[in-house]
Structure formats: C-alpha cells, structure tokens
C-alpha cells in the first residue's frame, strides 16, 4: 500500500510531461483507502473471507490485583479462562454493565464479517463483591458532566474515576461509573464537578445505583433493572442440534484407526480434549465412571498432535482409567469442529438415533449428567 502512494505522488510531482507518461505507462495507479479497488484487492480476504489482520492472534484479558501488603498493583492474565481470548480482530470495545448486575460487561466489534460480540462478566456482584454505580447530571455546565471526578471513600481506602466520553480505539464510554466496594456496607461519595466545585453526597449503601445532580447535595436512587443473559452456545461446532453428522475416524494408542460409532439405540457422549488442558484432565475420572457404568457410550478424542500421543497412555495409567484414550487428527476433527476457535473440553451429546442433542462447554459436572 505504501509504495503505491509513493508512485502516485511521483506522478503528481513529475516536472515534465515526458516523465509523467513514462510513469503512467507502468499502469500503476493510486489506490485510495475505502475505494472499490482497495476493498476488492486488499481487504476482501479479511472482510469477505474472514482472515485476520493479526494472524488469528488471540485477544488478551487482564485483571488488576494487589500484589503485596504494601499495596503495589499488578495484572493477572485471565485470557484463556475468561472466554475473552477470541481470535477475531476486535478493535473497538465498550465496557458497560448491560445486565445491571454491578460489573462491566464488554461489547466489541470485530472486523471479520462486521461481527459484534457481547462478553458477559460473571465475576461481579456476590459475597464480598459489592458495588456502587453512579450517573451524573451537570447543571452549571454541560448536562453530561464530562470531566467530573467522582470519589468514593470506604474507611482508609479511596477510589476516584473521571467521567470521560471516549477512550480506546473508535470507542465511546457509557455515562456511568462503577466502583467495587468489597464487603463494606456503605461508602462516602463526593464529586469534583468540571467547573471546579466539590460537592459531597454523603453515605450511600453498597449495591446502590445512583444519579448525582450537580447542586442537589443528595443522591437520587435508580431502580435496578437486572436481567440474565442467556448462556451462549459453545463455539466451534459446525452442525446444529438435531443433525446426524457423518462418523469420524479415531486413532487408537497402537496406531490403528477405528470409526466413531453413534446411535444404535444408545446415547453417546463425545468429549474433545487435550493433555495440556487441566480442566480436561480433571473430568476424565467422571467420564471413566460413566464408561464403566455403561448406561451411555463414552468416547474421548484427544486433539493432541502425534508427538504428544505418548502422554495419553501416561495419563490413563496415572488416573487408573479403564476407558481407551484415542486421538483424532486435527484435519479429521475439522469436519465437525472449528478446532482453532473452540474451547476445550467440549462434549457433544448424541441421542439414541445418532443426532446431536446437546453441546456442553467446559468440564462435565454431576449437574450436567442430571439434565
């Protein structure tokens, strides 16, 4: 792209008509970003075919935490366990409490296919995780009160946030500030308004939603409007519930292959996992118990590469498993799954006729078995 602009500039700056004709004869023309030619030639692989600017590098998610008694801060990487480690090129992100449960959720826009993603935060309100949510309305300046600083005091701890309109890449912030207040039952709230006046709003109870109007001196309490987002289906499965997929071929520990049998009058659980996944290893004893009980057919399919195949036997011996631990080639697994995008462990439940009846993301639990 850069060299095209250089050549185009050279055409424009050429001092003689003869030089211009020579350059134009090379059939090189300027390609302006956003033009039809630019989209067709340069961006089609991303916008139309879903390829990635960053080579499908996963998005990171970090959480701040106090690292020592002196109060120094650090960040802990929660990318793989949070579900936020998406491979899409997520550029613009908004942090907002969409379900009004006291913690910020994330709404992000991905370049590929103009995809919008809403990531629900499940680390919020609960025992020891109180909050105060605050909205502002200015009366002496702009009604948004952008630039105001809100201070929350709880004992010897003080927090402050500035109400800003936008931050990050092409992103806008909601006009609401969220403060975590831990186990404290109440906090003191004050506002430094954009005009320079500081105003106290006194003590407010934890888990309150407030509107603070400049000059009023007293908070207005907002009625909660909480709701529960529906749990999203686990990503990565290429066929819908009710479908009877074509069988896959598994690779046994001795190198021989065997077809994955579905149906035949028996419910089947097929779990995809990897030896490097701790949650996967933890659910193996439960799967082995189901295998021994025999009420359902249990099949595990490791997506490990061939060079890690020896670890399957080691894990089986260490956990005293009676069920076999076959492996599946990634190309073969790709007939059912988006292997590079799915989260593991992933269990597909097939009914007695061999049709997909349920998808379970994450490690199996006893509760899963009762449903």
List the domain boundaries for the chain: 2-47, 130-221, 249-370
Q: What pLDDT, on the 0 to 100 scale, is given for residue 190?
A: 97
pLDDT at 8: 36
For tokens 């590079």, name the residue. 340
pLDDT of residue 260: 92
Q: Are 204 and 219 in contact (CB under 8 A)?
A: yes
Nearest to residue 191, comparing CAs of 173, 210, 207?
210
Tokens matching residue 116: 């919008």
CA-to-CA distance for 204 and 201, rounded, in angstroms?
A: 8
Task: Assign a CATH topology to domain 130-221.
Answer: Immunoglobulin-like (2.60.40)
Q: Angle, nearest 10°, between helix axes 17-24 and 2-13?
A: 150
Report the C-alpha gap between 277 and 317 in whole angstroms. 17
Peptide bond into 260 cis (omega under 30): no
- Is CATH 3.30.360.10 correct for 249-370? no
pLDDT, tens digit, for every residue of 43-56? 666 666 666 777 67
User: pTM for the whole thing?
Assistant: 0.58
Q: C-alpha distances in angstroms, 302 versus 172, 274, 332, 363?
A: 43, 5, 12, 14
Q: Which residues of the chain have pLDDT under 70?
A: 1-51, 55, 66-71, 81, 112-114, 124-128, 231-234, 371
Residue 10 pLDDT: 41
pLDDT tens figures, 206-257: 999 999 999 999 999 999 999 888 766 667 888 888 899 999 999 998 889 9
């Amino acid at each position: 792209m850069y060299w095209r602009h250089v050549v185009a500039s050279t055409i424009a700056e050429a001092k003689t008509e003869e030089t211009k004709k020579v350059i134009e004869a090379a059939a090189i023309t300027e390609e302006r970003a956003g033009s039809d030619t630019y989209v067709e030639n340069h961006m089609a692989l991303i916008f139309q075919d879903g390829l990635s600017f960053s080579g499908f590098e996963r998005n990171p998610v970090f959480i701040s935490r106090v690292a020592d008694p002196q109060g120094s801060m650090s960040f802990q990487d929660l990318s793989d366990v949070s579900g936020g480690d998406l491979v899409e090129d997520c550029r613009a992100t908004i942090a907002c409490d969409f379900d009004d449960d006291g913690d910020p959720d994330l709404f992000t826009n991905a370049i590929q296919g103009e995809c919008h993603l809403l990531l629900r935060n499940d680390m919020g309100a609960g025992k020891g995780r109180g909050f105060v949510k605050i909205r502002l309305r200015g009366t002496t300046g702009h009604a948004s009160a952008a630039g105001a600083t809100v201070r929350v005091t709880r004992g010897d701890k003080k927090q402050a946030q500035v109400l800003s309109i936008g931050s990050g890449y092409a992103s806008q912030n909601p006009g609401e500030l969220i403060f975590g207040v831990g186990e404290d039952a109440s906090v003191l709230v004050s506002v430094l308004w954009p005009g320079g006046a500081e105003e106290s709003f006194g003590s407010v109870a934890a888990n309150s939603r407030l509107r603070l109007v400049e000059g009023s001196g007293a908070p207005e309490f907002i009625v909660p409007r909480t709701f529960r987002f529906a749990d999203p289906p686990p990503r990565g499965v290429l066929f819908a519930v009710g479908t009877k997929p074509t069988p896959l071929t598994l690779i046994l520990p001795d190198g021989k292959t065997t077809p994955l049998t579905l149906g035949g009058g028996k419910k089947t659980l097929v779990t995809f996992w990897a030896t490097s996944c701790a949650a996967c290893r933890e659910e193996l004893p439960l799967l082995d118990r189901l295998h021994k009980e025999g009420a359902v057919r249990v099949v595990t399919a490791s997506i490990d590469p061939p060079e890690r195949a020896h670890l399957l036997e080691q894990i089986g011996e260490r956990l005293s498993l009676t069920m076999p631990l076959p492996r599946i080639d990634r190309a073969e697994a790709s007939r059912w799954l988006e292997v590079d995008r799915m989260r593991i462990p992933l269990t597909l439940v097939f009914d007695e006729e061999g049709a997909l009846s349920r998808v379970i993301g994450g490690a199996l639990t006893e509760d899963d078995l009762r449903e």
